[in-house]
Amino acid sequence: MAIYVSGRAAREPWRHEFTAHPKEVTQLRRMVRLRLLLWGLRDHVDMAQICVSELATNVIQHVGEGTPATLRMEFSGPYLRLEVEDPDPRALPTLLAASDVLESGRGMALVDAVTDHRWGVALRGETKVVWCELAVGASADCRPTNGPRIMRAAAILELYGSRPLRSGGGMAGGAGLLSLAVAEEAAVAVMTDVMHWLRAHGHDPDDVLDRAQNHFEAEIGGPV
């Protein structure tokens, strides 16, 4: 969830913990797409998804399936920086092709190509971070934050976060608003509960999520 300041979406650093597994890569791609759409970086979604797929696949290949890892996205000047951290500083990535049995099957060489050689490895104590950067400039747009959907979402997240609703229900900032971390955890809880409800009533949660994402993209896809 973005932090909103004076009606504009602040592009705050974003992190997501995941378990390295081929099936998890699809979910990572979906989350990256939604995050970049919220940040107004529609034109950079495909390249970012490619990079995240390869960074996650690198962990699967060289560290092992089931490894706990963390994805981070943040801005570094005119670049979007993508990082994947894992707990094995010895297993370093190479430019060799990845196995065809994994989702991406193209290897770190593709990251090298799409990022114009802007990638590397950083050791942080007992962990390793593989990073890359995409040139995005100042292309992220800003969107209004007081629409009915956003107001309803804010109310739901405050309820899940055990915080009282503010009178007026505004999103302009100030006391009573959830912190970024608490808000994201509340959003995960909301979506998880809804998926359980859908499954319990005989619906396919993945199908509903895909339809919701299509509606979301259609609604924000027009000119600002």
- What is the predicted pLDDT for the residue at 189? 80
For residue 30, the 8-state DSSP code is H
Q: What are the pLDDT digits (tens) for 84-107?
A: 999 998 877 765 544 443 444 456
Lowest mean pLDDT among 4-8, 15-19, 136-140, 191-195: 4-8
Cβ proximity of 69 and 18 under 8 Å: yes
Lowest mean pLDDT among 56-60, 121-125, 130-134, 194-198: 194-198
Per-residue pLDDT band for 69 (boundaries 50, 70, 90) equals: very high
| Distance from the first to the final alpha carbon of the chain | 19
- What is the predicted pLDDT for the residue at 7? 33
Does position 115 have pLDDT exceeding 50, yes or no? Answer: yes
- What is the predicted pLDDT for the residue at 160? 65
| Angle (CA) 32 33 36, round 5° | 85
Q: What are the pLDDT digits (tens) for 137-186?
A: 765 444 444 566 666 676 676 666 554 434 344 433 443 444 666 777 77
Among 18, 2, 16, which residue's Cα sits nearest to residue 178? Answer: 2
pTM, to two decimals: 0.60
Q: Which helix (H) or strand (E) holds 199?
A: helix 180-200
Burial tier of 175 (Cβ tally within 10 Å: 0-12, 13-18, 19+):
exposed
- What is the predicted pLDDT for the residue at 165? 38
* CA atoms within 13 Å, Cβ hemisphere of 139: 15
Neighbours of 157 (CB within 10 A): 21
